[in-house]
Structure 1
Amino acid sequence: MTVMDDLLAFQRRTEALSSVAERLGWDQETVMPRGATEQRSEEMAAMEDVLHERRTDPRIGEWLAAALPQNEAESRIVELINRDFTRACRIPARLATELARTTSLAQGVWAEARANDAPDDFLPVLDQVLSLKREEAAALADGGDLYDALLEDYEPETTGAEIAALFDAMRPRLVALREDVLGAEHQPEALTGHFPQETQLRLARICASAFGYDWTRGRMDLAVHPFSSGRWQDSRITTRVVETDPFNCLYSTIHEVGHSSYELGIDEDYAFTPLGRGVSMGVHESQSRIYENQMGRGRAFTGWLFSRMSDAFDGLNISDPDSFHAAVNRVTSGYIRTEADEIQYNLHIMLRFDLERDLIAGKLDTDDLVEAWNARFLRDFGVAVDRPANGLLQDVHWSVGLFGYFPTYALGNVYAGCLNRAMRDAVPDLDPGLARGDAMPGVEWLRENVQRHGGLMPPRSIIEEATGAPADPAPLLDYLEEKFTRIYGL
């Protein structure tokens, strides 16, 4: 056994235990009895205690100093383990354990508060989470920017200032396009009716299969907030059902299939190493968004979906494929980020990004958060929040401590815009396949150019290698303007 062998063997066990902890989180959001929250919080704390001890084991430092990588993959593994080891050693074991315990409890409190439209029930535990995350950020930042320290967990080598500049560059074109669309003379008809849950779920499975989801290594369940979980040979998806809005279920499913397929598409040789997972949440989101939007909401695929839905629901109030495509992409002044159209989605992210930066910096306290959220939403969207479940309580992220996560959604959209342009140049049979309900030509291009690499390269390098150019918001904004100009007859 070489030093490198010892390091890889140790890391393999750590990765396996991390996967077990992730499965506990999946269970909590899907099938765990509601009364088990306190027990699960202790279980999660115990797992984090074990994982933190392994991640800070002094032998890792000794192995890293003596390791002699033999190839590109081993060199990158050493780099990533060193990064994670350095960060883990800055966080006291007490803090890591308490974060796991508190966020597990907070998730249950959030779900109940959301169901009851009761922000006052949630804010005290959110304040506890925020206090712990500020402490964690201070430990990681080592005198630097607190928010940047947290962002590093989700989008390495990116700063809050860079994200803010990107958003400032994107906002004018997004707002102008929204104003043109909402003011257009032609407004698409909405899909209306009653769409039973079982029929929606059956169609969701068909859509997942159309995008190549591997049911031998995955499954689909219901959750309050759709998500995917797992890697290597077990990556699961969730969706949700609203019986008046089947697009919620179908496109949440396709979105999560994008996430899950990324994990399942990584080179199997990277399993149980730091290369065996998505390189960043921005790149991860690029996969879910390009599956959901550029492929799933395109005219070719919606034409196929129109036929399937017409048969499944014994007819629709919309009578032709073009009108159905317009209904799928209809722009409305809604409250919910996950249901937002492609134009306004990024504006939702910008709101959350600004608020959470202020929370971490201490410029905003949880006592003032509801008022700050509602005021900002009215300013950005021109609509007053009608109830907390449609405002502050709609997202799970802050309850589980994911500060720094939100901006990666918009960054993923930017990456998806770049990938879509390159993919369409490289895959001439993309739309003919989508029109048959077969997304595999696009999926296979993404698997070859993005997914299989896992963590082998830094996030921006992955996108540049796949597209031949640095990441840039222009392809996304051009795509949106072209698409919605056509739909709305601008």
Structure 2
Amino acid sequence: MADAYTDLMAFSRETQALAAIAGRLEWDQETMMPRGAAAQRAEESAALEAVLHARRTDPRMADWIAAAETNSTDNVAKAQLRHIRRGFERASKVPAALASELARVTSAAQGVWAEARANDDFAAFAPTLERVIALRREEGAALAAGGDVYDALLSDYEPGTTGAELEAMFGALRPELRALRAAALEAASPAQVQGRFDPDAQMKLTLKLAEAFGYDMQRGRVDKAVHPFSSGSGLDVRITTRTSANDPFNCIYSTIHEVGHACYEQNIDDAYLLTPLGSGVSMGVHESQSRIYENQLGRSRAFTAWLFGEMRDAFGDFGIPDEDAFYATVNRVNNGFIRTESDELQYNLHVLLRFDLERALIAGDLTVRDLEAAWNDRFLADFGFAVDKPSNGVLQDVHWSVGLFGYFPTYSLGNVYAGCLHEALRRAVPDLDTQLGQGDTRTATRWLKDNVQCHGGLYEPRDLIERATGAAPTEGPLLAYLKDKFSRIYAL
């Protein structure tokens, strides 16, 4: 077993390193790459994907895995083998030509989407989206082997979860969220910030916040991008954010959110570096970290009291008189089109809309030709006002252009996980608010590191959350938290 396992892990380490290079190309495409390089980058991505696919389906893998599994008793080795087998079996079902074509088409599609979004022209993007969906359906069918195609795609992001399970969970969330939203919008609305917020000052504050939440700048960096994201793992974990002269919270909370993702990757046990256990176990768990950093910690009454002082130091008077008013402003519920800019209460309604639409697209129950109308109809039903332009609607997110079907529901699943973790964190750290009120997140983030982040991919997603909290994850803690928080803010 030892020789087979050693050979397998050495081969896997090289594959992981190549995959990290592919990820760096994607980061560069979103941040630094000149727009005119898109066609060449698509060919580069396709070529690298072909190399990765060949390694992931190398015939020696099957022999190494079988030999290693025969005598494996160590829990870490078992977990490594579980991930490697899962990846090998997945890659072996997908033809090499399809994997390469998906990489080429989705790389090029990002540029098409960006231009269509800038021009508010969904028709210009529709043919490209049709091609992406056709390729992902083909891939999903190969992976499903007669089973549910959407579930096969979902397993890339949240292993062990099905669309039907999420539908039931989200079905319990949606009416409660809509009722709470309606009540908040009928109440008196908190004030908004006033004035112009210098982008350079925002970025300076952003860096301070990133470090306050434990982001290691020696192994990371903060850049600007149209769509904030986190990229990388181990010793090179980068984030992006964006600034708006009229809305500093966009920058502040996008940064805290991405720092949650980045700290997860930075805090994984160093022994797992460049192995299958060396990155977050699922996108749902990943999202739980970004959302608990952003919301339960970053938007708490205690932390916003400290942030209020930092904002006054950075920007002077911005129209909010005191800490209580600032807390209400930070958590203000207001109508808006954009998911990434939505308040904590309405965020999941945005995600549930996308989940239902993408399942219908993959199933063939909804065509791309009808997608924009379907989006607008559903948005009107859930939010009560009409989408005014495609960039505020169907074109606002990059995910579908890059083929990430099955990704969106992990955002809301992550919120559910975060609700469970926050409940457990409060039990473990009774004086949490005292610490957060001083801008000190160290105890909270250390608890998350020790109970979630350091394990990387050692445990399956739901098992990890259950180990951290002592109970199977449900939507109950999230709903209780939201009801308590917004009932207090809006005196409901």
User: What TM-score, normalized by structure 2, do the two folds share?
Assistant: 0.98
Q: Which residue of 2 aligns with 1:183?
A: 186
Query: 2 CA distance for matches of 1:161 and 1:43?
Result: 37
Distance in 2 (alpha carbons) for counterparts of 1:339 and 1:349: 13
- In the alignment, which residue of structure 2 is the partner of 1:82? 85
> Are residues 1:305 and 2:307 paired?
yes
Pairing 1:129–2:132 present: yes
2:464 is the counterpart of 1:437:
no
Alpha-carbon distance, 1:70 to partner: 4.2
Alignment map for 1:63-74 (pairs within 5 Å):
63-67=64-68, 68-74=71-77
Match of 2:158 in 1: 155
Cα deviation for residue 69 of structure 1 reads: 2.2
**Hey, what's the Cα distance between the residues in 1 that align with 2:196 and 2:119?**
24
In the alignment, is residue 229 of structure 1 matched against residue 201 of structure 2?
Answer: no
Task: Name which of 101, 105, 111 aligns with 1:102.
Answer: 105
Moved over 6 A (4+): none
What residue is the counterpart of 1:54 in the other structure?
55
User: 5+ unaligned residues in a row in structure 2: which ranges?
Assistant: none
- Cα distance between partner residues in 1 of 2:302 and 2:33: 39
Question: What residue number does 1:359 align with?
Answer: 361
Separation of aligned partners in 2, 1:52 and 1:430: 46
1:373 is displaced (CA, Å) by 0.7
In 1, distance between residues paired with 2:440 and 2:110? 37
Q: Deviations over 1:329-376 (max 9, x none)?
A: 000111000011111111111100000000000111111111111111
**Corresponding residue to 1:145 among 145, 148, 161:** 148
How far is the alpha carbon of 1:46 from its aligned partner? 0.6
Alignment correspondent of 1:166? 169
1:451 corresponds to which of 446, 450, 453: 453
Aligned amino acid, residue 369 of structure 1? L
Q: Report which stretch shifted further, 229-238 or 429-438.
A: 429-438
3-state SS in 1 of match to 2:346: helix
Is residue 113 from structure 1 mapped to residue 116 from structure 2 by the alignment? yes
Q: Would you say the 8 A contact 2:234–2:268 is kept in 1?
A: yes
Q: Note if contact 1:429-1:441 (Cα within 8 Å) is conserved in structure 2.
A: no
Structure 1 segment 29-40 matched on structure 2, within 5 A: 29-40=30-41
Secondary structure class of the residue paired with 1:456: coil
* Residue range with higher mean Cα deviation, 397-406 or 430-439: 430-439
Q: What letter is aligned with 2:340?
A: T
Distance 1:210 1:122 in 2: 40
For 2:194 and 2:63, how far apart are their aligned partners in 1? 63
In structure 2, C-alpha distance between the alignment counterparts of 1:123 and 1:225, rounded to whole Å:
20
Deviations 1:451-482 (A, max 9, x none): 00000000001000000000011100000000
Q: Distance in 1 between matches of 2:193 and 2:316?
A: 14
Q: Counterpart of 1:335?
A: 337
Matched, 1:91 2:94: yes
Report how far residue 265 of structure 1 moved: 0.5
In 2, Cα distance between the equivalents of 1:145 and 1:108? 31
Equivalent position of 2:489 in the other structure: 487
What is residue 379 of structure 2 aligned with on the other side? 377
What's the CA shift for 1:314?
1.6
Paired residues of 1:418 and 1:476 also in contact (CA < 8 A): yes
Report the residue type matching 2:192 in the other structure.
Answer: A
Q: Quick one: which amino acid aligns to residue 263 of structure 1?
A: E
Alignment of 1:467-486 (within 5 A): 467-486=469-488
How far does residue 428 in structure 1 lie from its aligned partner after superposition? 2.4
Question: Tell me, which stretches of 5 or more residues in structure 1 are unaligned?
Answer: none
| Native 8 Å contact 2:178 2:382 kept in 1 | no
The one-letter amino acid paired with 2:233 is R
C-alpha contact 2:117 2:395 (8 A) present in aligned 1: yes
**In structure 1, distance between residues paired with 2:431 and 2:384:** 41
CA displacement 1:275-307 (0-9 Å, x = unmatched): 001000000000000000000000111111111
Give, in angstroms, the shift of residue 427 of structure 1. 1.3
What amino acid maps onto 2:465 in structure 1? I
Mapped partners of 2:315, 2:82: distance in 1: 53
**What SS is found at the alignment partner of 1:229?**
strand
Cα offset, 1:111, TM superposition = 1.1
Q: CA RMSD in A?
A: 0.8
- % of aligned pairs identical? 62
Shift of 1:118: 1.5
Partners in 1 of 2:114 and 2:438 — Cα distance?
39
CA distance in structure 1 between the aligned counterparts of 2:442 and 2:123, rounded to whole angstroms: 47
Distance in 1 (alpha carbons) for counterparts of 2:417 and 2:328: 24
* Cα distance in 2 for residues equivalent to 1:254 and 1:430: 18
* 1:345 equivalent in alignment to 2:347: yes
Give the Cα separation in 1 of the matches to 2:78 and 2:33. 40
Helix, strand or coil: the match of 2:231?
strand
Equivalent AA in structure 2 for residue 344 of structure 1: Q
Question: Aligned residue for 1:314?
Answer: 316
Rounded to whole Å, the distance in 1 between the matches of 2:10 and 2:399 is: 33
Distance 1:398 1:210 in 2: 33
CA distance in 1, matches of 2:285, 2:434: 26
> What CA distance in whole angstroms lies between the structure 2 residues aligned with 1:194 and 1:50?
49
TM-score w.r.t. the length of structure 1 is 0.99
SS in 2 for 1:157: coil
Which of 250, 265, 268 is the aligned partner of 1:266? 268
1:410 aligned to 409, 412, 421, which one? 412
Counterpart residue identity of residue 66, structure 2: A
The residue identity in structure 1 corresponding to 2:63 is E
Name the SS of the counterpart of 2:101 in structure 1.
Answer: helix
